[in-house]
């Protein structure tokens, strides 16, 4: 058992598939157990209710998203202990992958990412934490992982925040070709959602940025 | 250096006097009514200012002539209230011929917390009537990692308290009710990433009035609200990698909120700090201290720069005093 991640609400553990299921079949697959841990500061019943409903929501999002994009296979969902056992997608994070391929391939990958997010949004799925660390490249395919902050919604605000987060991730981690990359993402996005929707999203991203929460803007007041 | 600070962003008119080593005086007078009526609160501040000033001078043993700097809270806050403090600060600065510095109220809460506790680079959970924010210092600015999407947590508590017929501000009576609550009633738990929202909780709690015991409603409402801000704080700690949590603002008085923060930090192995309560709630000493550290970092202001900024955001402040 290896702990591969520890977030604010969950612990991620890596295990062998055969240690959990079908021991005689010698299937060489790694799995991840994402367990939402008990929080001592919360009332017991509130805590269990939250961990349970979030485990259900995340499993449903991963499962539903699979109709449109690649996501890990889910093997088990336990609502007493609040964990999900899912496939460990063994590949390379897009974060690193993007930095070592030529510009033509990068363009294709970015388009594909946009395309996939377009499909999710069109079908009412918000990922909630779109960064290039949450996308894995394996066998010519891109897998989306970690739907822990996701939700089912078709609201433009939520789609805008989703894309804004991705833009920020590109800006901070892939700053050298950020403009070009994000443009290609939006091109791929447009292929699925259409031009009008793309424009709406771009406007919404600008509006979110203007709220001043995320970027420094010169305060109106300081100009006095 | 001796700095005098004037706080007047909302219901408190506070005057504090500090030097580099300690708080010399921290006096205040709180407006009370049904919520905060902006003009009435401003009238209250103007009326009590002279007395609060005199008692701060008396307590500190400092005379006006010994002051080196006048600081005031320039924002964010209620316009008419802010202008009383600003006007008094300008008058003192011109009359005594000493420099004036306008400071950001929210940032002052954090800095006085660092001054009076062992916190050095904390994630701050700032909970008060008007403000509910999770703030941390990264890339040369105090950034807001999470905040309320609608009303402040204290505002929610006061509105609920008013529906029960409690007098504003009702923190103490509410703490009392909460401690007697036993049954948990369902209240929607709203958290989005590191942001939270309280208006839905309030609506739901008000619906229980008359049907359930008020102790149980108060308990369920505040238990839910506190859980969301503590969860968001934990996310901010995980996200920033910082190992200290600083709790401040008027709601830091709540024993249950303190307890929850403490448990959360203990489970993570992080450290938890709360400044003395007189420096958690709105107060003049934090303004005096903030002005002093900004002045010493080289900041200067002309009278023309001292117009109040009602919506001055935490992340818009130029942090000149930290490296």
pLDDT at position B201: 96
Region of residue B249 (left: phi > 0; alpha: psi -120 to 50; beta: else): left
CATH of A92-210, one of 3.30.43.10, 2.60.40.10, 1.10.510.10, 1.10.260.40: 1.10.510.10
Rounded distance between C-alpha atoms, residue B178 and residue A139, angstroms? 56
pLDDT tens-place string over residues A148-202: 989 999 999 999 989 998 998 888 888 888 899 999 999 999 999 999 999 999 9
Domain range summary for chain B, segments of one domain joined by +:
3-109+279-316, 120-274
Distances from the Cα of B109 to the Cα of A105, A146, A164, B69, B314, angstroms: 50, 36, 31, 19, 11
pLDDT at position A215: 41
Length of chain B: 323
DSSP state string for B138-168: ETTEEEEEEEBSSS-HHHHHHHHHHHTTPPS
Rounded distance between C-alpha atoms, residue B153 and residue B133, angstroms? 10
Chain A CB contacts of B223 under 8 Å are 43, 46
Rounded distance between C-alpha atoms, residue A61 and residue A71, angstroms? 10
Q: Would you call A158 helix, strand, or coil by DSSP?
A: helix
Q: Which of A8, A213, A217 sits opposite B238 (nearest CB)?
A: A8
Binned at pLDDT 50, 70 and 90, residue B186 comes out as very high
pLDDT at position A210: 73
Q: Which residue is it, tokens 């009359």?
A: B95
pTM, 2 dp = 0.88
Q: Beta strand pairing status for A135-138 and A92-93?
A: antiparallel
pLDDT at position B139: 79
pLDDT at position A209: 78
Rounded distance between C-alpha atoms, residue B166 and residue A211, angstroms? 36
pLDDT tens-place string over residues B10-27: 999 999 999 999 999 999
> In the beta sheet, which residues pair with residue B148?
B196
CB contact set of A214 (below 8 Å; sequence gap of 6+):
A164, A168, A208
Closest Cα in chain A, distance from residue B64 (Å)? 30
**In this structure, CATH architecture of domain A2-87:** 2-Layer Sandwich (3.30)
Predicted confidence (pLDDT) at residue B246 exceeds the cutoff of 70:
yes
Of A11, A42, A209, which to mutate for an interface test with B (greatest number of B Cβ within 10 Å)?
A42
Give yes or no for A40 touching B (CB within 8 A).
yes
pLDDT at position B63: 96
Cross-chain Cβ contact B263/A212 below 8 Å: no
- DSSP letter at A70 equals B
B135 backbone dihedrals φ, ψ, rounded to 5°? -125, 140
Let me know: does B20 contact B309? Beta carbons within 8 Å.
no
Closest Cα in chain B, distance from residue A42 (Å)? 6
Residue B192: asked if its preceding bond is cis (omega within 30°), the reply is no
Chain B CB contacts of A212 under 8 Å are 313, 315-316
* CATH topology match: B3-109+279-316 vs B120-274: yes
Cross-chain Cβ contact A43/B223 below 8 Å: yes
Question: B3-109+279-316 has which CATH code?
Answer: 3.30.420.40
The verdict on whether A146 is a catalytic residue reads: no
Cross-chain Cβ contact B315/A219 below 8 Å: no
Predicted confidence (pLDDT) at residue B305 exceeds the cutoff of 50:
yes
Closest Cα in chain A, distance from residue B170 (Å)? 24
- Give the torsion sign (CA, B63, B64, B65, B68): positive
Rounded distance between C-alpha atoms, residue A57 and residue A214, angstroms? 28
pLDDT tens-place string over residues B197-243: 999 999 999 999 999 999 999 999 999 999 999 999 999 999 889 99
Q: Would you call B229 helix, strand, or coil by DSSP?
A: helix
Rounded distance between C-alpha atoms, residue A97 and residue A134, angstroms? 12
Rounded distance between C-alpha atoms, residue A221 and residue B20, angstroms? 30
Q: Which residue is it, tokens 């998203």?
A: A65
Rounded distance between C-alpha atoms, residue A8 and residue B231, angstroms? 8
Let me know: does B85 contact B93? Beta carbons within 8 Å.
no
Q: Which residues of A18-32 are buried (b: 16+ CB within 10 A; e: fewer)?
A: eeeeeeeeeeeeebb
Predicted confidence (pLDDT) at residue B256 exceeds the cutoff of 80:
yes
Which residue ranges in chain A fall short of pLDDT 70? 211-224
Cross-chain Cβ contact A40/B263 below 8 Å: yes
Of A11, A41, A53, A149, which to mutate for an interface test with B (greatest number of B Cβ within 10 Å)?
A41
- Give the torsion sign (CA, A175, A176, A178, A181): negative
Chain B CB contacts of A12 under 8 Å are none
Domain range summary for chain A, segments of one domain joined by +:
2-87, 92-210
Can you read off the two tokens belonging to residue A83?
A: 């964990």
Q: What is the largest CA-CA distance in chain A?
A: 76
Size of interface A-B (CB pairs under 8 A): 65
pLDDT tens-place string over residues A90-101: 999 999 999 999
Q: Which of B144, B238, B305 sits opposite A7 (nearest CB)?
A: B238
pLDDT tens-place string over residues B101-146: 999 999 999 999 999 999 999 999 999 988 899 999 987 889 888 8
pLDDT at position A211: 66
Of B231, B237, B318, which to mutate for an interface test with A (greatest number of A Cβ within 10 Å)?
B231
Nearest to B235 by CA among A134, A130, A6: A6
Distance of CA B150 to the CA centre of its chain: 17
CATH of B120-274, one of 3.40.50.450, 3.30.420.40, 1.10.760.10, 3.40.220.10: 3.30.420.40
Q: Which of A40, A43, A45 sits opposite B267 (nearest CB)?
A: A40
Which of A78, A129, A162, A218 is catalytic? The answer is A129
């Amino acid at each position: 058992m290896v702990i591969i991640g520890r977030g604010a609400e969950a612990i991620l553990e890596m295990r062998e598939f055969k240690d959990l299921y079908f021991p005689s079949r010698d299937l060489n697959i790694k799995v991840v157990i994402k367990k939402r841990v008990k929080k001592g500061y919360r009332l017991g019943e509130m805590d269990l209710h939250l961990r349970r409903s979030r485990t259900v929501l995340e499993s449903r999002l991963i499962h539903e998203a699979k109709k449109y994009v690649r996501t890990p296979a889910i093997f088990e969902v336990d609502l007493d202990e609040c964990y999900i056992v899912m496939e460990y997608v063994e590949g390379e994070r897009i974060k690193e992958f993007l930095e070592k391929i030529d510009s033509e391939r990068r363009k294709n990958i970015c388009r594909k990412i946009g395309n996939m997010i377009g499909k999710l949004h069109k079908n009412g799925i918000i990922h909630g934490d779109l960064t290039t660390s949450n996308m894995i490249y394996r066998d010519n395919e891109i897998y989306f992982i970690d739907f822990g902050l996701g939700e089912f919604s078709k609201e433009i605000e939520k789609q805008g925040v989703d894309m804004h987060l991705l833009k920020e991730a590109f800006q901070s981690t892939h700053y050298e070709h950020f403009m070009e990359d994000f443009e290609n993402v939006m091109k791929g996005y447009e292929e699925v959602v259409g031009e009008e929707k793309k424009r709406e999203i771009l406007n919404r991203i600008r509006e979110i940025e203007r709220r001043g929460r995320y970027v420094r803007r010169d305060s109106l007041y300081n100009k006095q | 250096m001796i700095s005098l600070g004037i706080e007047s962003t909302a219901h408190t008119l506070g005057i504090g006097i500090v030097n580099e080593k300690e708080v010399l005086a921290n006096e205040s007078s709180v407006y009370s009514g049904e919520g905060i009526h902006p003009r009435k609160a401003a009238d209250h501040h103007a009326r009590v200012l002279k007395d609060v000033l005199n008692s701060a001078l008396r307590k500190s043993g400092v005379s006006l002539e010994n002051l080196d700097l006048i600081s005031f809270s320039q924002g964010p806050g209620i316009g008419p209230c802010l202008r009383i403090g600003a006007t008094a600060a300008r008058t003192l600065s011109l009359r005594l011929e000493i420099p004036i510095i306008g400071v950001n109220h929210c940032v002052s809460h954090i800095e006085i917390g660092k001054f009076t506790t062992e916190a050095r680079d904390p994630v701050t959970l700032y909970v008060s009537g008007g403000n509910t924010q999770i703030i941390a210092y990264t890339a040369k600015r105090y950034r807001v990692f999470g905040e309320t999407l609608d009303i402040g947590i204290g505002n929610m508590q006061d509105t609920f308290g008013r529906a029960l017929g409690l007098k504003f501000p009702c923190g103490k009576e509410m703490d009392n009710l909460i401690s007697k609550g036993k049954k948990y009633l369902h209240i929607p738990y709203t958290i989005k990433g590191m942001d939270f929202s309280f208006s839905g909780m309030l609506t739901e709690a008000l619906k229980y009035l008359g049907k359930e015991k008020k102790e149980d409603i108060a308990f369920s409402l505040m238990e839910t609200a506190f859980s969301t801000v503590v969860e968001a704080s934990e996310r901010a700690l995980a996200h920033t990698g910082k190992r200290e949590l600083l709790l401040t603002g008027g709601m830091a008085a709540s024993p249950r909120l303190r307890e929850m923060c403490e448990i959360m930090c203990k489970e993570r192995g992080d450290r938890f700090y709360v400044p003395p309560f007189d420096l958690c709630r709105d107060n003049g000493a934090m303004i005096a201290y903030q002005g002093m550290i900004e002045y010493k970092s080289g900041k200067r202001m002309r009278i023309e720069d001292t117009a109040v900024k009602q919506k001055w955001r935490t992340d818009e402040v130029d942090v000149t005093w930290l490296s």
